[in-house]
Amino acid sequence: MAFNPLNTLFGLFSLDLGIDLGTANTLVNVRGKGIVLNEPSWVAIDKRTKRPLAIGAEAREMVGRTPGNIVAIRPLRDGVISDFEITEAMLDYFIKKAHSQMFPLLEPRPRVVVGIPSGVTEVERRAVYDACISAGAREAYPIEEPIAAAIGAGLPIMEARGSMVIDIGGGTTEVAVFSLGGVVLSKSIRVAGDELDEDIMQYVRQKYNLLIGERMAERVKINIGSAYPLPEEKIMTVRGRSVITGLPESVDISSIEIREAMASSVSLVVDLVKAALDETPPEVVADLMEQGVALAGGGALLQGLAQRLSEEVKVRVWVAPDPLTAVAIGCGTLLQNLDTLRAILQSVDRSRRRVIAPAGL
């Protein structure tokens, strides 16, 4: 990038932001300050004008309770940007909100490193870049979430020895293997926390004729959900509306039932990790056997998941110190090392070209 003296000036009055643009939650990490914003990636929209009425926590409060003319949506459902304009509005709002906490009177001109799902297309990557620039960023670096998650989890991805991260978010589960600052391989499926919530909703409806909302299902998952038998199984009272009478009803459900309800989705995650290990070069597998595999994203907190994965894939799987903030922390670390970031982006670019270009090119 050409030298621009104005950028030096902006640098004095602007924050550098690391942003985890997740399908479930968006986090903003300010360089030197830490995470200043952590809100659900929800936007409430006026159906008539199509304009956002509320963003973040306020919008999420409206879910399932909105009157007819307001709809609450998640613009990044399933790990892809399903609504670009709304994503742009959300990003703009979060950047300005984080910035105004420090420099209330100045227009934000931050440098931004933003984590995006690794399955996004080139067009979507560009869209995130454009959204950051139109929100005032003077430089923007969209980076695949697993790379940021690995750095946030403290994995030595710039070193020769290999490492692996499993990032289970709301929309996607992504597995990536690194060595020498490059991505050796990455895989993702659209099965993650949201899918587990849906499994629970479906199970409760089928077995108990009880309709429950997404938020209740998520609470059940967090409180009694598990991927491995618990030392002491639990019971939770679940409230909803009876399919038969249409009236409010509650049932007591056990953690054994919920584990069963989520079993096939959890197996898909296990299979993804197995498939990734299967394709990992033997030398790198040897490294993984030594240092284990890191688990990040909110899904890492599912009880017994690390244990289940460790047993099934025969490699120690450990939960990152703060799995929900790993991507935002990784983006923050990359902000402090923009040269490292550029090297990683170049390597990702090269590996993408390798995949796209026919052999011999």
Ligand X SMILES: Nc1ncnc2c1ncn2[C@@H]1O[C@H](COP(=O)(O)OP(=O)(O)OP(=O)(O)O)[C@@H](O)[C@H]1O
Closer by beta carbon to ligand X, 132 or else 284: 132
Binding partner of 24, given ligand X, Mg ion, none, CB within 5-8 angstroms per partner class: ligand X
Task: State how far the Cα of 293 lies from the Cα of 226, in Å rounded to an integer.
Answer: 19
Residues that bind Mg ion in the complex, under the rule CB under 5 A: 22, 169
Minimum gap (Å) between residue 218 Cβ and ligand X? 5
Using DSSP, state whether 121 is helix, strand or coil: coil
Selection from 49, 113, 122 nearest residue 81 by Cα:
122
Binding partner of 302, given ligand X, Mg ion, none, CB within 5-8 angstroms per partner class: ligand X
The beta-strand segments (E) located in the chain are 16-21, 25-30, 34-40, 43-46, 52-55, 70-73, 111-116, 139-144, 163-168, 173-179, 182-189, 210-211, 235-242, 248-254, 293-296, 317-319
Task: State how far the Cα of 323 lies from the Cα of 61, in Å rounded to an integer.
Answer: 24
Task: State how far the Cα of 356 lies from the Cα of 361, in Å rounded to an integer.
Answer: 10
Query: Do the bridges between strand 235-242 and strand 52-55 make them parallel or antiparallel, or are there none, so unpaired?
Result: unpaired
Amino acid at 207: K
Tokens of 309: 């994965």
Residues that bind ligand X in the complex, under the rule CB under 6 A: 20, 22-25, 79, 117, 145, 169-172, 192-194, 218, 221-222, 225, 297-299, 301-302, 324
Binding partner of 221, given Mg ion, ligand X, none, CB within 5-8 angstroms per partner class: ligand X
Minimum gap (Å) between residue 216 Cβ and ligand X? 12
Q: What is the dihedral of CA 80, 85, 89, 91, to 10 degrees?
A: 30
Selection from 232, 203, 244, 245 nearest residue 220 by Cα:
203
Minimum gap (Å) between residue 223 Cβ and ligand X? 9
Binding partner of 79, given ligand X, Mg ion, none, CB within 5-8 angstroms per partner class: ligand X
Closer by beta carbon to ligand X, 14 or else 25: 25
Residue 64, number of CB atoms within 10 A of its CB: 11
Binding partner of 87, given Mg ion, ligand X, none, CB within 5-8 angstroms per partner class: none
Closer by beta carbon to ligand X, 169 or else 332: 169
Minimum gap (Å) between residue 66 Cβ and ligand X? 21
Closer by beta carbon to ligand X, 22 or else 52: 22
Closer by beta carbon to ligand X, 16 or else 195: 195
Minimum gap (Å) between residue 221 Cβ and Mg ion? 17
Selection from 296, 293, 325, 326 nearest residue 311 by Cα:
293
Binding partner of 170, given ligand X, Mg ion, none, CB within 5-8 angstroms per partner class: ligand X
Closer by beta carbon to ligand X, 77 or else 274: 77
Closer by beta carbon to ligand X, 222 or else 343: 222
The beta-strand segments (E) located in 24-128 are 25-30, 34-40, 43-46, 52-55, 70-73, 111-116
Minimum gap (Å) between residue 21 Cβ and ligand X? 7
Closer by beta carbon to ligand X, 162 or else 225: 225
Using DSSP, state whether 291 is helix, strand or coil: helix
Q: Rounded to an integer, what is the distance from CA 120 to the centroid of its chain?
A: 13
Minimum gap (Å) between residue 190 Cβ and ligand X? 9
Minimum gap (Å) between residue 14 Cβ and Mg ion? 25
Q: Which residue is nearest to Mg ion (CB)?
A: 169
